[in-house]
Amino acid sequence: MSNQTVLYDAPGPKARRLTLIVSIVAAALAVAGAYFAIYRPLKRNGHLTMELWGPLIDPGNENFDQLWARLAEGFRGTITAAVLAIVCSLLVGTALAVLRVQLRTVRTTPGVQVLISVLNWVTRICVEVFRGIPVVITIFFVWVGLGKVGAHDITIPLSKIGLDDLVIPTLLYTLVLGLTIYNGVVIGEILRSGMEGLPRGQREAADAIGLSTFQTIRLVLMPQAFRIMLPALISQLVVVLKDTSLGFIITYAEILRVARDTIQVLGNGIQTYVVIGAIYISMNYALSKLAEYTQRRMARARKAPRQPGGGAQPPAALAAEAQIPAGVPIKLDD
Amino acid sequence: MSALFDNLDLFAKGFWLTLQVCVLSAIGALVIGTIVAVLRISPIPPLRWLGTSYVTVFRNSPLTVVFFFAAFGLPALGSNAEFLDVPGLNLIFVRLDYDLPYFRFAVFALSLYTGAFVCEALRSGVNAVPPGQAEAARAIGLTFTQNIRHVVLPQAWRAAIVPLGSVIIAMIKNSAIAGFFGVVGDLSQVGYDLVVQQGVSVLPVFIGISAGFLVLTMPLGLLLDQFERRAVKAR
């Protein structure tokens, strides 16, 4: 029922009048509610003064430049962690998906077969466990665990090839590692269900022309799984971006952590969080729209069969079966 | 490994508190989500906009930010979330009646945040109801409210169970953040306290805490798989 208007008739004169009245009443109630429940208490408690908002929105304020320089720094921290975590999660997820599909399909001598089914179970349990543990807990324990073994900054000596040495701070790779463990597993499952949802004929054809298991996965299954699961993968990017804010807990200097420090100086908690919330919402909104757009484009591509005989049928069947992993926002076309 | 068994009572207490946060937030999120979902499919445009903006805001902001808003915003509005201290309910969930507001803040933030996802899950259920059903209901003259109540929602629930379950599982996992926002004695705070304050070795504590969460999330996940398989077969 994607067309919502099926629930009610096109409004006639009476319904239109009613709609108008209810709209006006609702709007009035919303404005009154906002005024009495939000504006008045904020005003009373002095949260609407320029003293608190100025550093954030008034370029003439003495603290404006310094504050935004700090916030930009935190923002860079967030983006760095998010990009690294996404890249690592994609790599780990792809490897995991390949491993799991390969373990399921490979057929060898009985002795090796036992080993393979054991491996199959081990990976399966790892996936279930790391998918079931909150990502905060994973990040936190990676942090204390690495602290106990005395992890320190990693320096990649690029000076030999004429560049500056690349230093990866401990907290950065701790956060990336924690995020990768969780999201790698989730992305692995997205890709695996994409590959296993493909029509059997794909694999049989690959067998028939003599491709090995690995070649089949690399050349036939994986490219299709990536394409089909692209919307789910982009939604997962939103999750990763949101989860970088957990770096706050392990004192990684991302935007919320930096904001906490500035708030301690300027005392403008709510004001700063409003601004940061707005930044997060616009970034994630753009990403979600991108996911919806890709989904629509693919739905369109699906409707136009490229070859007679309904060659484009399989993905439609798959979309219904594709499992939505926990934690992935469910995307709907509006 | 003895640290795991020595602190078993702490883990059990933490599990109990986490369960309380989860149950209360799940109720809150289901109520909020249902209201927002009805707003989003209602015939009145401003109500639809309200629902849509709610979902956009809460689905796109990190839970950490929502928690900050609960912890900073509510006191700024002159409230310590006492409205959650429902008489009767606070006899079972004694933390609601606590002088420290962090438990209530956690429930408040988790309910608001998860409500947006519940709304989307319900909407996906409504979308799964064949259009012919609503058309037939309209053809026999049911109004919008009757249509929703007697025809669409009863069928939407069935299609919404699996996405709703995923949302609840995600919420259980998200509840771990509460321990880092002032709630004392839930699973994650117990873990933090044992490892950081008391210097207990990391691995046993990690196993204890993880087991607590897995006991909550895994059975639900398996149940959902079962549901899904049955639904696929029925099709």
pTM of the model: 0.83
pLDDT, tens digit, 9 for 90 and up, residues A206-226: 989 988 888 888 898 888 888
SS3 at position B189? helix
Q: Do residue B173 and residue A326 have CB atoms under 8 angstroms apart?
A: yes
Rounded CA gap, B47 and B50, in Å?
A: 5
- Cβ-nearest to B129 among A1, A134, A141: A1
Give which of A40, A30, A245 is closest to B69, Cα–Cα. Answer: A245
* pLDDT tens for the 334 residues of chain A, in order: 444 566 776 777 887 888 888 888 888 888 888 888 777 777 777 777 777 777 777 777 777 778 888 888 888 889 989 999 999 999 999 999 988 888 877 767 777 888 888 888 888 888 888 888 999 999 999 988 888 887 777 777 777 777 777 778 888 888 999 999 999 999 998 898 888 888 888 888 998 998 888 888 889 888 888 888 888 888 888 889 889 999 888 888 888 888 888 888 777 778 888 888 998 999 888 888 888 888 888 877 766 554 444 333 333 333 333 334 433 444 433 3
**Secondary structure letter of residue A167 according to DSSP:** E
Question: What are the DSSP calls for B103-169, one per residue?
Answer: HHHHHHHHHHHHHHHHHHHHHHHHHHS-HHHHHHHHHTT--HHHIIIIIIHHHHHHHHHHHHHHHHH
Chain A residues within an 8 Å CB radius of B65 = 245, 256, 273, 276-277, 280
Q: Which CATH architecture has domain B2-234?
A: Orthogonal Bundle (1.10)
Closest approach of chain A CAs to the CA of B141, in angstroms? 10
Which residues fall within 8 angstroms of residue B8, CB to CB, at 6 or more apart? B208
Chain A residues within an 8 Å CB radius of B232 = 321
Q: What is the mean pLDDT of chain B?
A: 85
Question: What are the DSSP calls for A75-86, one per residue?
Answer: HHHHHHHHHHHH
Rounded CA gap, B23 and B28, in Å?
A: 9
The alpha carbon of A63 is separated from its chain's Cα centroid by a whole number of angstroms, namely: 34
CATH code, A55-321:
1.10.3720.10
For A248, the closest chain B residue by CA position comes to B64
- Cβ-nearest to B46 among A9, A26, A328: A26
Where does residue A129 rank: exposed (0-12), middle (13-18), buried (19+ CB within 10 A)?
middle
- Cβ-nearest to B124 among A134, A269, A332: A332
Q: Do residue A37 and residue B188 have CB atoms under 8 angstroms apart?
A: no
Chain B residues within an 8 Å CB radius of A11 = 43
- CA distances to A88, A133, A181, B212 from A141, rounded to whole Å, are 19, 11, 12, 15
A contact test, residue of B40, B41, B64 with most A CBs within 10 A: B64
Give which of A327, A331, A312, A329 is closest to A134, Cα–Cα. Answer: A327
Chains A, B: CB contacts within 8 A come to 192
CB distance A17 to A229 below 8 Å: no
Q: Do residue A285 and residue B56 have CB atoms under 8 angstroms apart?
A: yes
Q: Which two tokens stand for residue A274?
A: 């409003």
Rounded CA gap, A91 and A229, in Å?
A: 15
β partners of residue A155:
A167
- Cβ-nearest to A326 among B123, B169, B213: B169
Which residues fall within 8 angstroms of residue A63, CB to CB, at 6 or more apart? A54, A55, A266
Exposure on the CB side of residue A126, measured as CA atoms within 13 A = 18
ipTM: 0.86
Rounded CA gap, B96 and B87, in Å?
A: 10
Name the residue with tokens 């982009």: A234
SS3 at position A322? coil
Rounded CA gap, A199 and A221, in Å?
A: 10
Task: Indicate the residue type of A290.
Answer: L
Chain A residues within an 8 Å CB radius of B218 = 128, 132
Give the start-to-end residue ranges of the domains of chain B. Answer: 2-234
Closest approach of chain A CAs to the CA of B124, in angstroms? 7
